[in-house]
C-alpha cells in the first residue's frame, strides 16, 4: 500500500495521473444540505448528547468524585466528560453549587508533614484545564470565578538546588506557600498565582497575568508580574 501511494503521487504514468486527478476530484465532493432534515439531525444530536451527558454525570461521574471529597458538596456540577484528575494526598472540601471542569487537575504535595487541603466555597466556577497545586492550603472563597488554563502554584514539585533536583529530591518547605482567593475574585484565562499570595475580595486579574505578590480588594490587576491597574467601581445598590 505504501508503494502504491508513492507511485500514485510521483509517477508520470498516465494511470498515476488519472489516480491523482480522481483523488483531487473526490476531495471536492460534498453532501448538499437538505432543508429541514439536517437541521433536525443537528438538534437531535445535541439533544441526545445532552441527555447522555446528564445521565452519566448524575449516575456515574458526580457520585464518584464526591466519594473522594471531605463533605457532601451539594449540587456539584461537573462540566465536560470524564473526571477531574486528582493527584496526591490532597483533602478537598467543596461548598454548594460548585461548577468544576472535568479537565481540571488538582494535585497535593506528597513530601509535607500534613495532608494538603483545598477548600472551596459556594457558587464557585473552576474552568477548563485549570491546575490547582496545593502545597499546604489553597482557599477559594464564595463566588470565585477561575477561567480556563489558570494555574494556582502552591508548590513547585522540585528543589532549587540542581544536585538535589537531579537526584529526584522533593521541593523544600520554604518553596511552599498558601494561596487565598477571597470572595468574588475573578481570574481570567491563563492566570498564574504563585505560592504565598492572597488576592483581595472582588479583585479581577487580567488574562495571562502572573500574580507573585498579594493584591488588594476591589481592583483590576494585570501584567507579569501583576500590578494594580485601577480600582474597580463599587457595585451600585438598588434604591
Known catalytic residue at 158: yes
Task: Give the whole-angstrom CA distance, residue 67 versus residue 54.
Answer: 19
Pairing of strands 210-211, 192-194: parallel
List the grid coordinates of 91: 483533602
Q: Exposed e or buried b for every residue in 92-120, given b needs 16+ CB within 10 A? A: bebbebbebbbbbebbbbeebeeebbbbb
CB 155 within 8 A of CB 171: yes
The residue annotated as part of the active site, out of 66, 93, 158, 165, is 158
List the grid coordinates of 224: 507579569
Active site residues: 158
Amino acid at each position: 500500500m505504501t508503494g502504491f501511494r508513492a507511485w500514485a503521487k510521483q509517477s508520470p504514468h498516465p494511470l498515476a495521473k488519472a489516480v491523482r486527478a480522481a483523488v483531487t476530484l473526490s476531495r471536492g465532493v460534498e453532501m448538499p444540505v437538505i432543508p429541514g432534515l439536517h437541521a433536525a439531525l443537528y438538534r437531535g444530536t445535541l439533544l441526545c448528547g445532552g441527555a447522555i451527558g446528564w445521565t452519566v454525570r448524575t449516575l456515574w461521574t458526580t457520585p464518584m468524585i464526591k466519594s473522594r471529597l471531605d463533605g457532601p458538596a451539594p449540587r456539584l456540577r461537573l462540566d465536560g466528560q470524564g473526571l477531574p484528575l486528582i493527584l496526591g494526598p490532597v483533602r478537598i472540601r467543596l461548598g454548594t453549587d460548585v461548577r468544576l471542569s472535568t479537565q481540571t487537575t488538582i494535585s497535593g504535595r506528597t513530601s509535607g508533614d500534613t495532608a494538603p487541603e483545598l477548600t472551596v466555597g459556594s457558587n464557585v466556577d473552576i474552568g477548563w484545564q485549570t491546575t490547582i497545586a496545593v502545597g499546604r492550603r489553597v482557599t477559594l472563597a464564595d463566588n470565585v470565578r477561575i477561567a480556563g488554563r489558570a494555574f494556582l502554584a502552591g508548590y513547585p514539585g522540585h528543589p532549587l538546588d540542581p544536585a538535589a533536583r537531579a537526584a529526584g529530591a522533593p521541593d523544600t518547605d520554604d518553596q511552599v506557600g498558601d494561596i487565598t482567593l477571597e470572595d468574588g475574585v475573578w481570574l481570567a484565562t491563563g492566570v498564574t498565582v504563585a505560592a504565598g499570595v492572597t488576592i483581595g475580595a472582588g479583585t479581577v486579574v487580567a488574562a495571562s497575568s502572573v500574580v507573585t505578590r498579594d493584591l488588594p480588594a476591589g481592583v483590576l490587576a494585570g501584567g507579569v508580574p501583576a500590578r494594580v491597574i485601577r480600582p474597580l467601581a463599587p457595585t451600585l445598590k438598588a434604591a
